[in-house]
Amino acid sequence: MSEQQKDVTILVDNFFRHEAGKIVSVLTRIFGSQKLDLAEDVVQDSLLEAMEQWKYNGLPDNPSAWLFRVAKNKALNIIRREKYQQQYSKEKAYLLKSDRDSIPDIDHIFTDQEIQDDQLKMIFTCCHPSISSDSQVALALKTLCGFSIPEIANAFLTTEKNINKRLVRARQKIRDDRIPFEVPKGNEFVSRLQVVLETIYLLFNEGYSASRGNEIIRFELCQESIRLTEMLEKANAIKQKGDIYALLSLMFLNASRFKARQDEAGNPVTMAEQNRLLWDKNLQRTGLIYLQKATENPGISTYLILAAISANYCIARDYESTDWENILSLYDSLIQLDQSPVVLLNRAIVISKVKGTEKALAELDLIKNDPLIESYPLFYSTEAEFLIQSGRNEDAVTSLEKAIRLTPLKSIRNLLETRIKYCREKQC
């Protein structure tokens, strides 16, 4: 393969990531959500054609228009086939009725506003509450973010077979339940938007604090989470955007600390030890702007409180000057909305800063028997730190050993092993 051909291959791969979701969304509007797999096949065929032609003929002046035109023509050929003619309404098929292949025609059909509207419909389709959460995330990554099945499998450290199963289940659910390709209206919209935001936040958290593998951060998942939320923020169809602003604020503020959260070897760095010069001030400013926008909207949400907590960490001059009392007050507000054991665990960490480790240990006792906590390694590693601070090193070793057994991340296990060594040295 020549250098030019290699360059084209790389370009097409990147191009697919940015353009595939747009085309799939437009074609799904034409074919209907029940034929989502057909829309994806057309896009895949179009990319393969681009790969072949661009390698030997060079890049067209307008690669995006070229790709949209090819996808449109392939869709038109499908509709024209006699066996498909009865499956598409005139209302949908008129979009492809032109036989001309001129770029202006393509630009007219696939306008930015149409694409934006269709992507919005697609994200609500992918995140329909009747689809399981793991399938929602896989479908969103595949259809909206242009991730390949191997990439999705790698991101979640599972097999391609498992990802295929999730996608098959999601598409089958769309067909069986006849999930419409639309943005819901009225009272349904509010609850459906929450499902969409929850799915995006789940995706962000998997990138921000990876649950498996050797990398504690997966940047590409966080980037796609922010991109999807920005898509919602730009949508004219969404009038009340307080929760969207709050989620964007939370993600930008958390993302601003990325570079400081691990050392050059990929090992985790606690906030107390982080080099704050590595914190991204531009991302922080963006996060604070969105936080201000969120506070100007009515209502208080989980995302808003979490964003305010993150903002407190970001604006502190150093770790010692963190306003722990204000953060605890925010957690006290948060548990009025969310009393999940993970929230209570994080609140206990703040309590240790304000009221001392013994009070924090008492808070942990209240949740230690929760089924979700029993298999949560961070609970035991947090408990161990409190025990170390209380001089109970032997008990701390027991908690650390539990955390190690439950921790899939090698870098975290190494850190915990170091703490065990510290405790045993103190016992000598």
Per-residue pLDDT of 222-236, as tens digits, reads: 888 999 999 999 988
> What tokens does 224 get?
């796609």
Assigned domain for 266 exists: no
Contact, 375 vs 341, CB < 8 A? no
Residues 224 and 117 in one domain: yes
Residues 153 and 167 in one domain: yes
Q: Determine the pLDDT at residue 57.
A: 81
Q: How many domains does the structure of the chain reveal?
A: 5
Assigned domain for 269 exists: no
pLDDT at 18 over 80: no
Assigned domain for 265 exists: no
Q: Report the distance separating Cα 270 and Cα 255, nearest Å.
A: 15
Q: Report the distance separating Cα 121 and Cα 423, nearest Å.
A: 55
Residues 99 and 145 in one domain: no
Q: Which residue has the higher pLDDT, 250 or 89?
A: 250
Residues 117 and 106 in one domain: no
Of 12-16, 142-146, 182-186, which gets the smallest average pLDDT?
Answer: 12-16
pLDDT in tens, 192-217: 999 999 989 988 887 787 544 455 55
Q: Binning pLDDT at 50, 70 and 90, where does residue 15 land?
A: low
Q: Determine the pLDDT at residue 7.
A: 54
User: How high does pLDDT run on average in the chain?
Assistant: 85
Q: Which residue has the higher pLDDT, 3 or 306?
A: 306
Q: Determine the pLDDT at residue 101.
A: 41
Assigned domain for 49 exists: yes
Q: Which residue has the higher pLDDT, 302 or 21?
A: 302
pLDDT at 296 over 90: yes
Residues near 3 by beta carbon (within 8 Å), at least 6 away in sequence: none
Q: Determine the pLDDT at residue 47.
A: 85
Please give the average per-residue pLDDT across 316-343, as a whole number: 95
Of 75-84, 104-113, 289-298, which gets the smallest average pLDDT?
Answer: 104-113
E strand or H helix at 425: helix 410-427
Which of 374, 393, 418 is the C-terminal boundary of a domain?
374
Please give the average per-residue pLDDT across 77-86, as a whole number: 65
Between the alpha carbon of residue 340 and those of residues 137, 322, 345, 347, the distances in Å are 22, 24, 9, 11
Assigned domain for 198 exists: yes
Q: Which residue has the higher pLDDT, 335 or 104?
A: 335
Residues 362 and 381 in one domain: no
pLDDT in tens, 351-377: 999 999 999 999 999 999 998 888 889
Q: Binning pLDDT at 50, 70 and 90, where does residue 89 land?
A: very low
Please give the average per-residue pLDDT across 8-18, as a whole number: 63
Q: Report the distance separating Cα 165 and Cα 159, nearest Å.
A: 10
pLDDT in tens, 242-261: 999 999 999 999 999 988 98
pLDDT in tens, 146-183: 888 887 887 676 788 999 999 999 999 999 999 999 98
Assigned domain for 271 exists: no
pLDDT at 6 over 90: no
Residues 119 and 234 in one domain: yes
Residues 224 and 254 in one domain: no
Q: Which residue has the higher pLDDT, 83 or 187?
A: 187
Q: Determine the pLDDT at residue 96.
A: 52
Residues 130 and 106 in one domain: no
What is the percent of the chain where pLDDT is above 70? 87
Contact, 288 vs 311, CB < 8 A? yes
Distance from CA of residue 423 to its chain's centroid? 37
Residues 117 and 235 in one domain: yes
pLDDT at 105 over 50: no
Please give the average per-residue pLDDT across 390-411, as a whole number: 90
In 32-147, which residue ranges form alpha helices assigned H by DSSP? 36-57, 63-80, 90-93, 103-109, 112-126, 133-143
Residues 307 and 333 in one domain: no
Structural domain containing residue 235: 112-239
pLDDT at 137 over 60: yes
Q: Binning pLDDT at 50, 70 and 90, where does residue 94 land?
A: very low
Q: Determine the pLDDT at residue 147.
A: 81
How buried is residue 368: exposed, middle or buried, by Cβ count under 10 Å (0-12/13-18/19+)?
A: middle
The pTM of this model reads 0.83
